[in-house]
Structure 1
């Protein structure tokens, strides 16, 4: 993957967070997300502390909330689910603005919203400070299976290309008088998706053959030096902070 391909989730920068080795940031993000998920949903203060820790990382990395906001739209399906839970769940009821809501449903909705939001923010922070081209080497250093590393690499490289192809097909259909929002066009939409899938499969075969012809052996070459002890100590500090908060939340 050449340096000319910049992922839309990556934010150019030269901060201390950007300079950390990729494998350190991956481990820190995964550990932090596990800590967030393990935190009792009743510990509201803990989630505020997580957000404060993320805000500090954003300050160091030069990430602004207005850059994060539009990229948070990926969370919309979870928000819809959370909104429906207080109406669908059974159990003890309470009234809010004259509407009867389920107390267990409200708690479940709060847990989904707050943990999902913090998880998405953590993932966006990792993506914003880590070039996509460095992920394969980082995964390889963490001893992730080579096949998984290759799949992730190609997915990151070609997902935007396929999305652009789908968008061009949609534009072409609309230009010919089609309205993809109507139900009777579902068949045409399905055929379009099938066509993109077939082209993606064929492209994958051609890319694989091209890689083999250039000496690809199934493993990712490691050119950058491994992370030092100082890198691990600095990079895992936010993860240790998150684990400490989760532990205190359970003890309290």
Structure 2
């Protein structure tokens, strides 16, 4: 958990939310998301209230809205799925801009987008105001199984390592005249991803052996 690893989402600040204990922030996030998910999709003003509350929290932390907005790109798969729902869902149809769309599909798409957007923004706010090491300590304090905490710790630690290795592989491909964005070269890109998986698996085995040689007994110590 050294410097330079796992801090891409964190935004340095000194707000009250930055200083709040990580385990309390985790409980608040889970509770908030349970309420959001349990809210019926037809209660449109309630979702507006959730959004205003979230905007107020982000504003109080001093984290720029653009900082959160750029990282909302992780929501793109949910957006694409929501866009398709009105076209593939069954039930009564309605005309929107000359398109025949399913009314239940439109309602389901709205619910998915609203809840996913609020959830992603809330999670990014937690990540932006909490150091990764503090999050792991918070999980330990909440009595999360130690094995899960260890997996998350290694994921944070080695995410940058694997990402950097993938970047070097893409650079090598481009230097040999291969464009990873071209469909013609996707088979080569797929083989590269497979090679990266094997390298990562082998690295995990070497790290585990190194841990055992240093007295690792299955307990994670921060």
TM-score normalized with structure 1 length: 0.83
CA distance in 1, matches of 2:55, 2:23: 22
Q: Aligned-pair distance for 1:94? A: 1.2
Which residue of structure 2 aligns with residue 157 of structure 1? 157
Contact 1:137 1:221 in 2 (8 A): no
Tell me which residue corresponds to 2:63: 63
Q: Any idea what the Cα deviations from partners look like across 1:184-232, whole Å, max 9, x if unmatched? A: 433322221121112111221222233344444333346xxxxxxxxxx
Structure 2, unpaired ranges of 5+: none
State the secondary structure of the residue aligned to 1:94.
strand
- Aligned-partner Cα distance in 2 for 1:79–1:14: 33
What is the DSSP-based 3-state SS (H/G/I as helix, E as strand, rest coil) of the residue aligned with 2:178? coil
In structure 2, the residue matched to 1:129 is: 129
Match of 2:179, SS?
coil
Q: 1:108: Cα distance to partner?
A: 0.6
Which residue in the other structure is 1:40 paired with? 40
| Pairwise CA distance, 1:4 | 4.7
CA contact (8 A) 1:17 1:61 kept: yes
Aligned to 1:206: 206
TM-score normalised by the chain length of structure 2: 0.93
Give CA deviations for 1:22-45 in whole Å, capped at 9, x if unaligned: 111111111111111111011011
What's the counterpart of residue 244 of structure 1?
none
Q: Match for residue 114 of structure 1? A: 114
Matched residue SS, 2:101: strand
Report if aligned partners of 2:11, 2:128 keep a CA contact under 8 Å in 1: yes
In structure 2, what is the equivalent of residue 241 of structure 1?
A: none
Q: Determine which structure has greater relative contact order: mean sequence separation of CA pairs < 8 Å that are 6+ residues apart, divided by chain length.
A: 1
Aligned equivalents of 2:22, 2:45: Cα separation in 1: 30
Q: Give the direction of change, closer, same or farther, for the CA distance of 1:118–1:2 in structure 2 (3 Å limit).
A: same
Determine the structure 2 residue equivalent to 1:225: none
C-alpha RMSD of matched pairs (Å): 1.6
- Corresponding residue for 1:27? 27
Paired residue for 1:239? none
Alpha-carbon separation, structure 2, partners of 1:109 and 1:96: 14
Instruction: Look up the SS of the partner of 1:101 in the other structure.
Output: strand
1:12 maps to: 12
Unaligned runs of 5+ in 1: 223-252
- Checking the alignment, whether the CA contact within 8 Å between 1:135 and 1:153 is kept in structure 2 is no
- Tell me the matched-pair count: 222
Tell me, yes or no, if the aligned pair for 2:9 and 2:128 is still in contact at 8 Å. yes
Determine the structure 2 residue equivalent to 1:186: 186
What SS does structure 2 have at the residue aligned with 1:106? helix
Shift of 1:3: 4.3
CA distance in 2, matches of 1:77, 1:159: 21
2:220 maps to 1:220: yes
Secondary structure at 2:219 match in 1: coil
